[in-house]
Structure 1
Amino acid sequence: MCGIIGYAGSKPCAHGVLLSGLKALEYRGYDSSGIASFQGDQIKIVKAKGKIKELEEKIKDVPVVYYLHDFYTCCINPNLMKNDNQSCIDRDIPCEGCYYFGKKAEHLEKVRHFLRAFENRITFVAPAEYTKKHWIAFYPEYADKTIVISHQKAIGEYSGNKETALNEEPLRLGFVGAQKQIKGWDIFKKVVAAAEDAGCNYDFYYFGNGSEKVDGVTAVNVDIATQGKDAMIKNLKEKRISAVFLVCVWGETYSYTTYESHAANCYIFAMKSGGNIPYTVEKNHWGHVFSTEEELVKGILDEKTLREEINTWKKNAAPGAAAYMDNDDILKQFSDKRKAVVDWKSEQISLEQRLKRAALNVIFKELRLKNKQ
């Protein structure tokens, strides 16, 4: 004979509810217990022999790793943009007047409740020093539990695309990434229009898979899903791009395109509000950080000074990486010996669903990861 208890709901501490229920049944004298919970399309099972306290010990000792992909733990708007058009990551502008403000308090209470449930065994992983610094400004109580593990590791050196541009040769300038306002796409279009009006000797390019066409801009399709994970680097090298616009207006927590651009030895234009992009550019001397749109446009239109700036950097800067590999250091966070005994059982799904998943896995391995080595 067995005792069974179930829970359906959204509490972050559902295990606590289930343990309380099991303890209420413990008087029956069972010699083992277990908890099964859904995680995505699988069921996670933790079992233990003996009293309920043995199961409780296993559950409470399981380490928790929380990855700081964005700033959702700080505001219901994960980009920390007031009304989606003004960065507030430095907390130097008031929340009042923002249409996210009304829901912020309730959202943060739920987040803090969730974090408190695991605070004795949680580790926060930030992809960059910039992200860690700004996140612990919101949560100083977790400063000693927050570490930095970058997404990638640099391999070797690439010495190509470091030739200086001759005065009669057009400077090749490119925009890299998504055609979105927060990525600086609108700023780039303003720069293109202003440079055309001023008669600057520039060739503009767009690298990505966006559909918008802009007069005076050559579109280069880049899609890592079909061309491989190094597609952006290869295309920037092939077009011999002198400099790129990474003019995001929100606090990027990492930015793959920053490292891809530098791997192709491209000088980088960044906006001060762009998060880890300007932080990385200034720290490593990879380009020029502008404080405002007006300053950026003015700098681009000063063609003589801009050419000298880029050419000097090309001649004197250390070469970019030959390639970047995925950083598997985060796996060490899961090597703690204090683990529960966990069994995995696949959810019952139809044959059609299984075939679809198998096909998608094949596509992913063959296309997206084909250049991983």
Structure 2
Amino acid sequence: MEGLIVSFTHSNYCIKPTGTEKFVRNLSKILKENNYNHLNFFSFYTDSTIVGVNYNDKFCGIYEYDKIIDIILFYARENNYRIKMLHFQHILNHKTSVLKQVVKKLKVPVCFVLHDYYLICNQLKLIDSNNEFCGVTRPSEEKCKCCAYRNEGINHFESMQSFLKDINSYIYRIIAPSNYVAEKVKLIFPEFRNRIVVRPHLILTGEQEYKEEKSKIKLAYVGAQMKEKGYDDWKVLVETIRENCPDAYELYYFGTGKQEIENVTNIYVSISEQGDNAMINNLRKYGIECAFVWPNWAETYSYVYYELALCGVFIISNDVSGNIYSEITKNKNGLVFQKRKEAVEWLLNIEDVQKRITEYKLNGAYRPQISNVNTDLSDFLSSVDILQTVRMDNKPKTKVLKSIMYRVKYRKFHL
């Protein structure tokens, strides 16, 4: 009898190109390769009364949100599946009241995956109303006194605490992608510290050899054109280089963003359209040597960091970048600065930049060659499973018009 995994996400992982969705796509593939079926419910930011459904990576339609239990039971009984586990990948815009009902009705183990800090604050990147990263600690009157989101954040944290307490006996694992996140979250939720585990998304091995390059330094910004990812800081850096040393660098942008900057070559990269190795392939194709990675929040993992490492790219970042900061410090494959001004000034010192890049490429201790998706499922499966005995006479009906409109909107993804 085959097993069924039920997951909850805040977006359709089949069409969105960002890190959380990439992780869910990879995990879904591994589950299917191990003879597990995957039923996914994704929420909508604009309408909390509906939910999208994917089954084994195929879009099935849009349903009434309150029909989630009926949909799960229908798939389980129709296919004679045993329900193995509930995966809460991201519960943004989901109704915790309904999720609690689902857990208690099905009585199967639950795991949470920490892709950001939504279990702590509704400002899921912990950026306050002053546009400052406020640190990975629990919201409180003292901590949040200067933040306009104070009441929302405190109420959200209390709501998450209540939700976790209500389903405590069913929580099997809380999965962190890095030691940085695990240690922070253990301090905030000490009652779960024995169930918080570290499971990196990727396994990197081998050692790549590189040759010294005698040309302009190829410097890139990689990822979303968003302020919190450092794109505004990148624009300042580009302008400074243009004014001070325009002939020293070749500047590139890699991602799906449409904004163009003078003297910067845009390379369109979308892993959802071009495959999981799209970024690595393009970084290697264009010979990128140095990257400016400047998020103004603590990244929980950052696929970008590891993609750059696989290409021998020397990484420039800041000391609030979370796992990026932690990994650069440990692996010595870049430099970390406190302020953007310091990073910009260093990048204007062309001789030292070239020296550092060359030293790393020729002698760096961390120059991984091969990346494999982590296929270990032990934290995503437990020995408990449930054969549902409640028979559903009819499959819940889709919201036909909404489903059709959604398929049309995203037809390029072959929904």
TM-score (norm 1): 0.75
Aligned match for 2:321, one of 274, 277, 284: 274
Residues 1:135 and 2:164 are matched in the alignment: no
Secondary structure class of the residue paired with 1:259: helix
Residues 1:181 and 2:210 are matched in the alignment: no
* Structure 2 residue aligned with 1:151: 201
Matching residue's letter, 1:184: G
Shift of 1:61: 5.6
* Structure 2 residue aligned with 1:284: 331
* Structure 2 residue aligned with 1:248: 295
Matching residue's letter, 1:65: C
Shift of 1:74: 1.1
Distance in 2 of aligned mates of 1:100 and 1:310? 42
Shift of 1:184: 0.6
Q: Is residue 226–residue 232 contact of structure 2 (8 Å, CA) maintained in 1?
A: yes
Unaligned runs of 5+ in 2: 1-65, 78-103
* Structure 1 residue aligned with 2:68: 39
* Structure 1 residue aligned with 2:386: 340
* Structure 1 residue aligned with 2:374: 327
Shift of 1:84: 6.0
Residues 1:216 and 2:263 are matched in the alignment: yes
Shift in alpha-carbon separation, 1:94–1:308, aligned structure 2, 3 A: same
Shift of 1:309: 1.0
Shift of 1:325: 2.9
Secondary structure class of the residue paired with 1:333: coil
Q: Deviations over 1:34-77 (max 9, x none)?
A: xxx84388233799xxxxxxxxxx96862211111111111120
Distance in 1 of aligned mates of 2:137 and 2:404? 47
Matching residue's letter, 1:163: K
Q: Is residue 38–residue 44 contact of structure 1 (8 Å, CA) maintained in 2?
A: no
Q: Is residue 207–residue 219 contact of structure 1 (8 Å, CA) maintained in 2?
A: yes
Secondary structure class of the residue paired with 1:289: strand
Distance in 2 of aligned mates of 1:40 and 1:228? 33
Shift of 1:361: 11
Q: Is residue 157–residue 320 contact of structure 1 (8 Å, CA) maintained in 2?
A: yes
Shift of 1:279: 0.9
Q: Is residue 251–residue 274 contact of structure 1 (8 Å, CA) maintained in 2?
A: yes
* Structure 2 residue aligned with 1:197: 243
Task: Provide the identity percentage.
Answer: 28
Bigger Cα displacement from structure 2, 129-138 vs 93-102? 93-102
Q: Deviations over 1:154-202 (max 9, x none)?
A: 255543xx22232xx2100000000111101111111111122112511
Q: Is residue 297–residue 321 contact of structure 2 (8 Å, CA) maintained in 1?
A: yes
Distance in 2 of aligned mates of 1:296 and 1:138? 32
Q: Is residue 137–residue 184 contact of structure 2 (8 Å, CA) maintained in 1?
A: no
Aligned match for 1:259, one of 280, 300, 306: 306
Distance in 2 of aligned mates of 1:107 and 1:304? 50
Distance in 2 of aligned mates of 1:125 and 1:184? 27
Shift of 1:341: 1.6
- Superposition map of 1:1-373 within 5 A: 38-39=67-68, 42-44=71-73, 62-83=108-129, 85-91=131-137, 94-122=143-171, 123-154=173-204, 156-159=206-209, 162-166=210-214, 169-199=215-245, 201-318=248-365, 320-329=367-376, 331-342=377-388, 346-349=395-398, 353=403, 363=413
Shift of 1:242: 0.8
Q: Is residue 325–residue 336 contact of structure 2 (8 Å, CA) maintained in 1?
A: yes
Shift of 1:216: 1.5
CA RMSD of aligned residues (A): 3.2
Counting matched residue pairs gives: 315
Shift in alpha-carbon separation, 1:317–1:342, aligned structure 2, 3 A: farther
Shift of 1:141: 2.2
Q: Is residue 112–residue 174 contact of structure 2 (8 Å, CA) maintained in 1?
A: yes
Shift of 1:117: 1.2
